[in-house]
Amino acid sequence: MALLITDECINCDVCEPECPNEAIYQGEEIYEIEPLRCTECVGHFEESQCVVVCPVECIVVDSGRNETPEILLKRYHALTRTERSNAD
């Protein structure tokens, strides 16, 4: 499952730089997460880094996206392969 930032976000700017997939971005009112880039840090870290640093605990699992750890790992591999290819 991808993560979701709720409207309790205070725009503190700490989550965006922590995302290894660059899935977090400033939306119109609050930070948002691009679900097709979010792997919940699978492949990078043991815990979702944005959740770890969020001072108001407004980053939650998006219950509308039923994704297994295997799907998240496949996404991680696809994203890192693409990023490596673009770096060449």
pLDDT tens column, 53-68: 999 999 999 998 989 9
Length of the chain: 88
Sorted by where each starts, the structural domains of the chain and their CATH numbers stand as 3-87 (3.30.70.20)
pLDDT single digits (tens) 34-50: 999 999 999 999 999 99
Structure pTM?
Answer: 0.86
d(CA 6, CA 23): 15
% of the chain exceeding 70 in pLDDT: 92
- What is the predicted pLDDT for the residue at 73? 95
The token duo for 60 is: 């939650």
12 within 8 A of 52, measured Cβ to Cβ:
no
- Residue type present at position 44: H
- What is the predicted pLDDT for the residue at 66? 87
Is residue 88 over pLDDT 60?
no
Q: What is the DSSP string of 31-70?
A: EEE-TTT--TTTTT-SS-HHHHH-TT--EEE-TT----HH
